[in-house]
Amino acid sequence: MRRYFLYSIVIVGISLWGFLQTRAATPESSLNVALIARSGYQPKDYERLSQLFSEISDISVSLNYIPYEKQLEEINKSTSQPQPTYDIIAVDAIWIPELISRGAILPLQDFIKGFKSEIVSSALTVFTFNEKLWAMPHLSNFQLLFYNKAMLAEAGFDKPPDTLEEMVNQMRVLKTRGTVEYPWHDAWGVNKGLIDEYTWLVGAFGDTLFSPLGEPIFHRGGGLEALKFMIQAVENKWINPTSLNSGVLETKDEFITGNCAFNTNWVFQAAIIKDSNLSKVSNVAEVGLLPVSRRVQQKKQYEFNSASVGAFQGLAIAANTSDPRRAWKYIRFLTSPLVQKGFPQETPIWTSLLMDTRAQQLDPLLDLKRRELLSAVPPPRVMNYRTASSIIEKYVMSALRKELDPETALNRAVEEIKAAGITTVTLPTSSKSN
As a whole number, mean pLDDT of residues 153-164 equals: 98
- Sign of the C-alpha dihedral computed for residues 107, 110, 115 and 116 taken in this order: positive
Say yes or no: 120 and 173 in one domain: no
How crowded is the C-beta side of 342, counted as CA atoms within 13 Å? 24
Range of the domain at 9: 2-141+310-377
As a whole number, mean pLDDT of residues 70-85 equals: 95
**Is the pLDDT at 244 greater than 50, yes or no?**
yes
> Is residue 392 assigned to a domain?
no
Say yes or no: 152 and 208 in one domain: yes
At 421, the pLDDT band (50, 70, 90 cuts) reads confident
What gap in Å lies between CA 247 and CA 251, rounded to an integer?
Answer: 6
Say yes or no: 280 and 152 in one domain: yes
Percent above pLDDT 90 for the chain: 82
| 201-224 tens-digit pLDDT | 999 999 999 998 889 999 999 999
> Is residue 396 assigned to a domain?
no
Cα 263 to the chain's mean position, in Å? 17
Burial state string for 221-244 with b = 16 or more CB within 10 A and e = fewer than 16? ebbbbbbebbbebbeeebbbeebb
Percent above pLDDT 70 for the chain: 91
Residue 276 belongs to a domain with what CATH number? 3.40.190.10
At 113, the pLDDT band (50, 70, 90 cuts) reads confident
Say yes or no: 315 and 279 in one domain: no
Final residue of a domain: which of 292, 308, 324? 308
At 381, the pLDDT band (50, 70, 90 cuts) reads confident
List phi, psi (to 5°) of 213. -90, 5
**Is the pLDDT at 254 greater than 50, yes or no?**
yes
Largest CA distance in the chain: 73
User: Which of 303, 368, 242, 337 is closest to 16 using CA atoms?
Assistant: 337
What gap in Å lies between CA 166 and CA 143, rounded to an integer?
Answer: 19
Say yes or no: 293 and 359 in one domain: no
- Is the Cβ–Cβ distance between 140 and 309 less than 8 Å? no
**Is the pLDDT at 11 greater than 60, yes or no?**
no
What gap in Å lies between CA 432 and CA 367, rounded to an integer?
Answer: 39
> Is residue 383 assigned to a domain?
no
**Is the pLDDT at 116 greater than 90, yes or no?**
no
Mind spelling out the 3-state secondary structure of the chain? CHHHHHHHHHHHHHHCHHHHCCCCCCCCCEEEEEEECCCCCCHHHHHHHHHHHHHHHCCEEEEEEECHHHHHHHHHHHHCCCCCCCCEEEEEHHHHHHHHHCCCECCCCCCCCCCHHHECHHHHHCCEECCEECCEEEEEEEEEEEEEHHHHHHCCCCCCCCEHHHHHHHHHHHHHCCCCCCCECCCCCCCCCHHHHHHHHHHHCCCCCECCCCCECCCCHHHHHHHHHHHHHHHCCCECHHHHHCCHHHHHHHHHCCCCCEEEEECHHHHHCCCCCCCCCCCCEEEECCCECHHHHHHCCCCCCCCEEEEEEEEEEECCCCCHHHHHHHHHHHCCHHHHHCCCCCECCEHHHHCCHHHHHHCCCHHHHHHHHCCEECCCCECCHHHHHHHHHHHHHHHHCCCCCHHHHHHHHHHHHHHCCCCECCCCCCCCCC
Q: What is the chain's mean pLDDT, rounded? A: 91
Cα 217 to the chain's mean position, in Å? 22
Final residue of a domain: which of 279, 308, 337? 308
Say yes or no: 301 and 220 in one domain: yes
What gap in Å lies between CA 410 and CA 52, rounded to an integer?
Answer: 52
**207 to 316, 317, 411: CA distances (angstroms):** 29, 33, 16
**Is the pLDDT at 48 greater than 90, yes or no?**
yes
Contacts of 322 (CB under 8 A, 6+ apart): 28, 83, 87
Domain count, the chain: 2
**Is the pLDDT at 148 greater than 70, yes or no?**
yes
**Is the pLDDT at 15 greater than 50, yes or no?**
yes
**Is the pLDDT at 7 greater than 80, yes or no?**
no
Say yes or no: 9 and 128 in one domain: yes
Residue 432 confidence (pLDDT): 46
Residue 22 confidence (pLDDT): 45
At residue 330, what is the residue type? Answer: Y
Residue 3 confidence (pLDDT): 44
As a whole number, mean pLDDT of residues 25-49 equals: 88
Say yes or no: 60 and 101 in one domain: yes
Say yes or no: 163 and 283 in one domain: yes
Say yes or no: 133 and 242 in one domain: no
Task: Give Rg (Cα) of the chain.
Answer: 23
At 28, the pLDDT band (50, 70, 90 cuts) reads low
User: Which of 422, 323, 319 is closest to 380 using CA atoms?
Assistant: 422
Residue 425 confidence (pLDDT): 54
Final residue of a domain: which of 332, 349, 377? 377
What gap in Å lies between CA 268 and CA 259, rounded to an integer?
Answer: 19
Say yes or no: 235 and 108 in one domain: no
| 259-317 tens-digit pLDDT | 999 999 999 999 999 999 999 999 999 999 999 999 999 999 999 999 999 999 999 99
What gap in Å lies between CA 218 and CA 112, rounded to an integer?
Answer: 35
> Is residue 25 assigned to a domain?
yes
Report pTM.
0.90
As a whole number, mean pLDDT of residues 176-183 equals: 98
Residue 23 confidence (pLDDT): 46
Question: How many other CB atoms sit within 10 Å of the CB of residue 73?
Answer: 10
**Is the pLDDT at 114 greater than 90, yes or no?**
no
How crowded is the C-beta side of 386, counted as CA atoms within 13 Å? 9
As a whole number, mean pLDDT of residues 109-130 equals: 90
**Is the pLDDT at 2 greater than 80, yes or no?**
no
